[in-house]
Structure formats: C-alpha cells, structure tokens
A and B are shown apart, each in its own frame.
Chain A
Amino acid sequence: MDNSGTYFVAGALPEAATPTEPLPPWTSTRVVGARLPRVDAYERVSGTAVYPIDVVLPEMLYAGILRCPHPHARVRRVDLSPALALPGVRAAIGPDSPGADIPWYRAQGRAWSRLLDRHCRHQGEEVAAVAAETPYQVADALKAIAVEYEVLPFVLDEEQATAPGAPPVHEGSNRVGEPAVYERGDVAAGLAAAAVVVERTFRTACELHAPMEVHGSVVRWDGNRLTVWDTTQGVFAVQAEVARALGLPLAHVRVIGHYMGGGFGAKLEAGKYTVLAALLARATGRPVKLFLPREDTFLATGNRPANRLTVKLGAARDGTLTALEITSLGAAGAYPASAAATFMATELYACPNVRARDETVFIHAGRARPMRAPGYPQCAWALEQAMDELAGKLGMDPLALRLKNVPRTAQRRGNLPYSTAGLEECLRRGAEAFGWERARRARPGRATIRRGVGMAACFWGFSGGPPSTAIVKLFSDGSATLTMGASDIGTGTKTVMAMVAAEELAIPVERIAVEHADTGTTPYATPSGGSKTVPTDSPAVRAAAAAVRRQVLELAAAQLQRPVEELTLREGRVVTPADPSVSLPMSALEGLQRQGVLVGVGTRAPNPEGTVTIPFAAHFAEVEVNTATGEVRVLRVVAAQDSGRVLNRLTFDNQTLGGVVMGLGFALTEERVLDPATGRMVNANLHDYKLPTMLDVPVEMACVAIDRPDEAFNSTGTKGLGEPATIPTAAAVANAIFHATGVRVTDAPITPARFLAAAGGKRG
C-alpha cells in the first residue's frame, strides 16, 4: 500500500510475528458494539489516574531547557557557570557538554542536527539544559545561563523560502527533497474535453497540536538501566530512539506510558527532552523530571504545516470529472518532515486524468509533525471547496456531484477494489440524517444574518496492519488480564480492547484488567497514530483471547468427557447449547486450577492481498453568518463515518465529535502567527492560539455510524476512525459559508477579517 502522507513514511514496518490461525467473523456479539463507559473512566474523572506529568519519585530533580529566542542564530558562546553557582542547581549541559553531539533529526540517511546544536534554525531550538532541586531553581538557573547569539536572516513561509536569494535553512536549496509528482491519464486532454473548468488557490494555516498534557518525561537510572515515564503515543518508538541516542541495549530502556494527555501526532517519537533528562539524571545520579512549559510545546513539538494548494477541475455537463490537477507547496519547518497534502485528491473521486504535485520546503520555524490526518484536512479544504464551486458552475447539487463521481476502485493503488467502500453510504446516510435536501433548498435570503449548509467528504488512506502481538492471561477465578503494547491516547483503546477480549472469553469487561504501553512488560506495538490502533491491535487481542478460549474449551472437554465442538463459553461458564445440564464455571475447571493461569498469545494476521481497506466519511454543516461583521456560528454538524465495525458506540461518538471540533478550529480560529519582523511566534500560549471553546461548538452534533464490519480485512471487521473524523469538517463549514453568503473564503481560518476581505463588494 502506498502510505504517502501517513505517519509511517520513514521506516519500513518490522516483520509480523507468525500469524495466528485466522478467526472467523463474529456471527453475533454481546459485548462488542455495546455502549460501555470507559474501563478507566473513574480514574480519569477522579484524578487518580497517574499521568507521566504526575509522576514524582524519591530524590527526584526537576529540569528545564534553555531555548533559542531567535528564528535563526548561531550560538557563539554559552556560559553555564552562573547557573551552576545558584543554590539547588545540580547539573547543566550546553552545546559542548558530553552527549550534546548526539545526532538528531535523522532523515534521508543523515542527521540534520545534534541534541544541542550551536546552529539554531528555529525559535525554541534547544541550547542548554539544567537540573535543580525545585522547578523555581530551574527557572532561575535557565535565566542565569549567559548565551551570545549571532542572529541570522530567516525565512518564515513557503513564499519567502522559495524566493530568489532566500537565506538557506540548510546548505543548498530550501527544498526538502525533490517535488513528488503523480500522474495518470492525460490532464490536458481531460481539461480540453471538459464542459466546465474551475481553478482556485487555497491556503491553510499552520496549526498546533496543543494536547492537554504538555510534552515531557520522568527518567530514572538503576545502574545502567533507564526507566522513562513518557507522555507518548508509542512507548516502543521512544524506547528505540532513546536506546540509540544513549547507546544502550533496548532491554535496558524501559518506557512506560500508561496514561497520556493527548498527542494528535505530536508524541510519536522521542523528544530531545527525554534524552536531556537522561543525561542530567546520569550526571547527578538522581531521577529527573523534565516537562515543557506550555509555550515551549508551541515552539518545538510539532505542528500541522501550512499549505498553499491550487486545484483545477474539469467536468462534463453531467458532472463526470474529466480532469483533476492539484499542486501543493507546504512548509516543513526547520528539519525534514512531510508537508505533502495531495494524496486524497488522487483517489477520492473517480477521474481518469489526474496530476498531483507536492513540494515541501524548509522554513525557520518549528518542525512539522504528523497532526491528525497529516495533509488530509488541507487537501479537503482545497479539493472539497473546488468541488463545491464546480457543482455551482454545473448547476448541480454538491452532494449529487460527489455521488456522480464515487470511485469503484483505489485508482492510485493498482485499481484494486475496496474491501468495503463506504463513501456512497456516508454521503447518502449523512445527507438523510442532516436533512440535506430540504436544508439546501432553503434560500439564504438577503438579510444581514444568513444561514447556509455545506458538505464535504473524505477518506483516510490507511488502515493499519501487522505487527501487533497481545497476551491474555486467564486466572483461576475466571478473571483475565489483557497485555498489549498500544497506548491509549484518549480514544478509549483500553476500553475497546477489553471489550474484544471480553467478547471472546464471554466474561464481563469488569473482570478484565488491561496492562498496556510498557516496553518492559508488554509485547511490541507500533505507536497509536494513523487511525490504526483498533484495526491493527484489536485482531491481535481477539486472537490472544481466542487462544485462551481454545485452551478453556479443551480443558473442559477433558473434564466433562464431551467433544470440544459441543462446548462453548457463555457468561463465564462452559456450556453446551444443546444440553442445559452442562454448565461449568470457568473457575471450576480443574486444569485451570492446576495450572493457575492460562496464557494466550495472539498476533495480527497480514492484511489480505488484492484489496484496499480505508475508512470514509462525509460531514454536513449548517452555519449562520453575520455578513456585516463576518461572524460565523456553526449551528449543527452531522458526521457520517464508515470505519467498519463499531466496537463501542460511546467511544466512537467521542472520537468523531472530537474530530469535528478540531475541524472547526481549523476552519474558524486556529493559526500559528509568526511576527514578520522578528520571526518569533506571537501566540505561543493557550489564550492567543485560539482553540475552539465550548461556546464555539454547536449544540447539535450527530454522528452517523455506518457500522458495516469489514470482514475481509481483519478478524474484528474494523477500520480506523480518529483521522477521518476531522478531515472534511472545515471544508464543509467553508462550503456552508459560501452557500449562506455567496462568499468563497479560500484562506483558513475564516476569521471576521478574512470574511470581510473576501466579501469585498459582494456584501449587501
């Protein structure tokens, strides 16, 4: 599968373990599909859940990082001694300290910087770090470090980066690799054959992940073994990078990430903070806690890059697409990262003639990281607004135009069929739930305050796959432990995985304990990102539980002197459906009592060949626009999601509505602002960086779950949800604004200022 634009472009996935026997699809379910509260709801709500930022160890020191205040500078001199002279300060490291030269930002076969580098290429780049007895002493020590900078010229956006004579971020051109071009058919011929052509350029803003829990780690050395409590989406990814950075065997680095306060893609790798903390801990012989101030997370932990996208569409009179051309220019920040944003446009609609070009450039700002569907909301913003415009030119309903162009195959991936193709169903059922036809017919009128409706669709190009291993242990009383490596990044992973195990073992979810996200105790898992945790890990969990189930039934068959095929599990007991007299509680299994624990290991079977499996969605929005002031209120949103089987409708709705809210931020409020004169970010805090508040969230938000198990894909019939839940929202809102006002706002976010500017003379 082509993974362009997804989280896992960089490295090939490790080989899968030997796959377990394929399990047949569930014919009916008792636990899976139920609306169950989260298994850790009490801990999360009561505050007893221990997040990494809550970890306090005996003798622990606090640490902090001194960061470059300039977008581009060379560190001439660093004097740590004033900091070391302060009370309570136990260690300080700078660009010349041992370990500062650990290679960092590896890409394209080389390291692009060092842990503490004298050449700072963005505001917030790490210059020094200190450890002290209290956080206050850390703050004082950081202020006391004397640094002399040579301030250098900088580029802040994709236009400046590509201008002739632009200051280079790295030696050579500011391009991150060669532009990626994809082509099929003949676009020129397709455009020539078109009855209608639209072309428009769009721009999206740089967004920040802004997870609730700031980035950071607590580290402790025991001899030459390191334990890291990290707020991360992937403990094994962090383990590998920390072990490599410090030259340690993997087995000597234990990373624990039980709870974590959100990531959205910003916590898929080890941070410099973890390695700096480890160096400081080694230097002092004390555990060290290093969490970033909120401001620093805005500067140095990733972002969704801004993209400039031009879309050109051609269509026949009846709406059939004849040509699609899309180009994107995106800014990766100061180190290699992808700002690709065109992939979705090449497969969302059937079109024989397609050309897509992605160019990524360096700028002197924090490095882009995957952010909830990297590239896709940007693509939807441009493509889906252009489709809306095309529909307008054709005099077609925007929904009808999309239905006209639903693809039958994955056109960029060998024209393979989709194992389940939910686009049409998302469009139809979403429209029905929204009342699209009636709402669309209503005339916006000429009053100052006008209402309108808009929609947009998407897919997310990826659904996970091997490797994943899970372990289930059944105890002698019939309760069980599920052990898996995946992180629960707030999506309800622990809950749905416990439900899958409970389904297979026929015991209540309350009888299952989940052990997860600990490289010391759990089997390997890839990071929770890419909307792949459920479709990747839930089949492994099911397989592990099924392995236990098989052992239970075999032990029962021996004990009851019955053929194993006659036996099944129900409500914690071994039963024979045909003979009600047979009913043996699992706790009465002699074999289990003797053995103490039954262990089942399950692995993720490979994905089937010859098909493509991806989730789809369509979002519908109604807005109210004050055309005089440019204020936009989103009145309601319906999100139709095809993500295969729904394991738990409560967590499904949580994910979907959270995605919608994130999309509203993209559409209306969120934007990193860099000062043009100094190159510094002016809104690096939670007030000035405008996340939607509860009052920005519509009261009416509904989720339509298509809930069709994708049984050909994996043993739980699941596809991903987290990302397709946010991809089309912003475009739907922009289209609704156009419907209400006739004003096409091409640049996100649509603030009153941008609306008024776009409205120009059109208002009235």
Chain B
Amino acid sequence: MLPHVRHVRPATLGEAVRLAAAPGAVVHAGGTDLLGCLRDGVCRADTLVSLAGLAELRGIQEERGKLRLGALATVAEVAAHPVVRRLLPGLAQAAAVVGSPQLRHQGTVGGNLCQKPRCWYYRGPFHCLRKGGDTCYAVAGDNRYHAIFGGESCYYVHPSDLAPMLVALGALARLAGPAGGRVVPLEKFYVLPEEDFTHETVLQPGELLTEVVVPLPPAGTRTAYRKVGPRAAWDFALAGVALALAGEGGKVRTAQVVLAGVAPVPWRATAAEKLLAEQSLTPAVAARAGEAAAGGARPLAGNAYKVELVRQLVREALLALV
C-alpha cells in the first residue's frame, strides 16, 4: 500500500532543489523504483518532488565531443538514440537490457543510476543494517545474488546496467544542490559500504542528479555490455561486464573493464585493465583478463558461481570485440 504523500511539481530546478532539501522529501522522476520502495516501506517520504515539469532535464544532446544525457531521458531513449547506437554501442546494449519495455519507457537515466539496492532482505520485511538495523541478513542468509567484491558489513550489488557502462566511458555526473552545482566522475558518485553503509551515492540532502556527460570516445574505441540474468528480461545482472577498449585493430591501447552485479558499486576490474593495456586481444589474453577480473573476489556461501561468471563473461565479451 502506498503511504500518503504530498506530490509537488516545481517549475524550476531551483525550486526543485529547495523542495527536495526539506526533510521527508524525495525526488520523483520515472517512479519505477521509487513507488515500489514507498509501497514496500523500504524508504519513507512525506513529499514527492516531481521533476516532470523540468524540461531542461529531458533529452539527449550531442555537443562538442560530448553526449549529454538528461536525468529525465528515458532508458528507452538512450537505447534508441542514433549517436549512442553509432558511437557507443555498449551503452545502447546496456540500456536495451534494462528491465522490460515498460520499465525502459518509464524509467529515466537519473533514476536508473540512483536505484536503491535490490537486495531481497533490504526490499523485504527485514530491518537490516542499511535500513537502520544492526545486522546484515545476507551474511548468514541466502546470498546467491549478493556481492563478491567490495562488500563490507553490507553486500548488496548495484542494480544498474547503465552505471557500469557509463563508468567505463568515463562519464561525469552533474549535480544540483542547495549549495550550488558540482560535477563528479560517475565512478566517484557511488559509495562503498565501508565508507558509509547508509548511503549509496554522494548525493547530499536536496541534491539531485541533473545530467550525465559522456565524453565521446576517440575513433577506434570499442564498447560492449553483456550481462547474465536469472531470466531473459525484467531482471538484474547476476554478473555483467562493461568494456571500453581504445586502440586499433586487435590491439588494445587502454581498457576500461567495469563489472555489474557483483559489488555494491560498479566495480572496476583494475587488474584486468592493467593486463589488457598494450596487448593484442588473443584468446589467451582474454582468458587471462577474465582471471584477473575475478581475482580477489571474496564470495559468500551461496555466490561463488559469480566468480566463474565474471571470468567467463570478461573473456567472452573481450573476444566478441575482436
């Protein structure tokens, strides 16, 4: 049952920021995650600040070597955008495997990047650490869908498919807040539990994500996103990989390898990136990169299979780009 809330629809960004800064206010974009969270009592709000009136947050624009994704651009728009499809096929792939057609048409870029954890304890009637309780139920519980990297007191996995790809592309997040605007690399937008297990992002009260700026990569850059889900649609990654490889032909100059579904944040596989730099993409190199990406994983009792998934997905996705 949705709780009783006030719904306001500011006409300017400034007003939205002011309203969102009030205690008990939550920003409402597509609502595909928010309304479920409110219904299930995952988060509480007494005011929903709708962004629907803010035309400047909509749309996707190409501009001087950059692609600007408005926070209100829908996931479907990203998947279908001609520039995305031509220059950033990996981003189009990531957008195309989000949720279901309904969710992609209603869900926004901003909302997708700011999703709340999908941990089934968090979403269910469990008062876990992240919700203010004193225990992480996933540790002794059924953790088949939980993190193998970066978990520390809390082991949820970041649910977004767009985020790992955008991190791999070096995207920047533009934020607006009561203290003015700021820009943070998307990679730094996310917070690991060891830093703060009560927040998923660096957003401060009243601060909202207005835009994601993606630098268009140099010619010859290859991008890809591939995930394995529990079923073919309407699901989150068991594991996924976003790749952005700069270089010519079979040669990799620099590689960005960011994993999905395995950590509380989009997880940069630094060891794999290092290994791939200045290498030719042979099957052996791809396999070693897979090994490197899976290295250091700390699986829980029920999710060791994700280590193998990472190994295989990275290898497979790299070879598919040759």
Residues of A within 8 A of B (CB): 69, 135-136, 139, 293, 448, 628-631, 633, 668-669, 673-678, 680, 682-685, 687-688, 690, 692-696, 751-753, 756-757
Contacts and interface: CB of A to CB of B under 8 A. Distances in A.
Do most interface residues of chain A lie in helix, strand or loop, or is the interface mixed?
Answer: loop
Contact of B305 (A631, A668, A752): A752
9 contacts: A139-B1, A630-B305, A674-B142, A675-B137, A675-B142, A682-B142, A696-B231, A696-B232, A756-B305
A430 B100 CA distance: 34
B126 A690 contact: no
Given A676-B140, A682-B121, A752-B230, 7 more contacts: A629-B228, A685-B123, A688-B123, A696-B232, A751-B230, A752-B228, A753-B144
Contacts of A293: 1
A753 B309 CA distance: 9
- Which of A669, A684, A752 counts the most B-chain CB atoms under 10 A from its CB? A752
Contact of B316 (A136, A629, A674, A753): A629
A685 B39 CA distance: 12
B206 to A, nearest CB: 29
B233 A693 contact: yes
Interface in B99-129: 100, 120-121, 123-126
B297 to A, nearest CB: 14
Interface in B1-29: 1, 4
B305 A757 contact: yes
Contacts of B120: 673, 682-683, 688
B312 A69 contact: no
Contacts of B140: 676-677
Interface of B: 1, 4, 100, 120-121, 123-126, 137, 140-142, 144, 228, 230-235, 238, 303, 305, 308-309, 312-313, 315-316
Contacts of B231: 668-669, 690, 692-693, 695-696
B141 A678 contact: yes
Which 7 A-B pairs have CB atoms at the shortest separation, nearest pair first?
A: A695-B232, A628-B312, A139-B1, A753-B305, A695-B233, A682-B120, A693-B233
A448 B141 contact: no
B1 A135 contact: yes
A692 B100 CA distance: 13
A631 B233 contact: no
A69 B125 contact: yes
A695 B121 CA distance: 27
A681 to B, nearest CB: 8
Nearest to A634: B232
Given A675-B142, A676-B141, A687-B234, A631 B1 contact: no
B312 A629 contact: yes
A752 B233 contact: no
A694 B141 contact: no
A751 B306 CA distance: 12
Contacts of B4: 136
Contact of A693 (B100, B121, B312): B100
A752 B124 contact: no
Contact of B313 (A629, A678, A756, A757): A629
A675 B135 CA distance: 14
B305 A684 contact: no
Nearest to B315: A628
Given A136-B4, A751-B230, A753-B305, A673 B142 contact: yes
Nearest to A687: B234
Contacts of A757: 305
B316 A448 contact: yes
Nearest to A677: B140
Contacts of A682: 120-121, 124, 141-142
Do most interface residues of chain B lie in helix, strand or loop, or is the interface mixed?
Answer: loop
Contacts of A695: 231-233
Contacts of B234: 687, 693
A694 B100 CA distance: 10
B228 A631 contact: yes
B232 A693 contact: yes
A695 B309 CA distance: 21
Contacts of B144: 753
A693 B230 CA distance: 11
A677 B137 contact: yes
B267 to A, nearest CB: 18
A694 B233 CA distance: 8
A676 B142 contact: yes
Contacts of A69: 125
Contacts of A136: 1, 4
Nearest to A682: B120
A676 B302 CA distance: 12
Nearest to A670: B231
B232 A752 contact: no
A758 to B, nearest CB: 11
B235 A690 contact: yes
Contacts of B1: 135-136, 139, 293
A104 B151 CA distance: 46
Contacts of B230: 669, 690, 751-752
B124 to A, nearest CB: 6
Nearest to A693: B233
A752 B230 CA distance: 8
Nearest to B230: A690
Contacts of A692: 231
A684 B124 contact: yes
A45 B202 CA distance: 47
Contacts of A684: 124
A678 B137 contact: yes
Contacts of A756: 305, 308-309
B238 A752 contact: yes
- Which of A69, A688, A692 counts the most B-chain CB atoms under 10 A from its CB? A688
- Which of B121, B238, B305 counts the most A-chain CB atoms under 10 A from its CB? B305
A684 B125 CA distance: 10
A688 B122 CA distance: 13
Nearest to A688: B120
A69 B4 CA distance: 24
A680 B125 contact: yes
A633 B233 CA distance: 12
Contacts of A685: 123
A682 B124 CA distance: 7
Contacts of B228: 629-631, 752
A695 B99 CA distance: 12
A629 B309 contact: yes
B156 to A, nearest CB: 13
B233 to A, nearest CB: 4
A192 to B, nearest CB: 41
- Which of A633, A687, A751 counts the most B-chain CB atoms under 10 A from its CB? A687
- Which of B100, B121, B141 counts the most A-chain CB atoms under 10 A from its CB? B141
A695 B234 CA distance: 9
Contacts of B123: 685, 688
B290 to A, nearest CB: 9
B106 to A, nearest CB: 15
B163 to A, nearest CB: 19
A684 B142 CA distance: 14
A332 to B, nearest CB: 22
Contacts of A678: 126, 137, 141
A422 to B, nearest CB: 33
Contacts of B305: 630, 752-753, 756-757
A752 B142 contact: no
Contact of A680 (B124, B312, B315): B124
A274 B261 CA distance: 43
- Which of B1, B100, B126 counts the most A-chain CB atoms under 10 A from its CB? B1
Contacts of A751: 230
Nearest to B228: A629
Contacts of B124: 680, 682, 684
A353 to B, nearest CB: 40
- Which of B126, B231, B233, B313 counts the most A-chain CB atoms under 10 A from its CB? B231
A73 B4 CA distance: 32
A112 to B, nearest CB: 26
Nearest to A754: B305
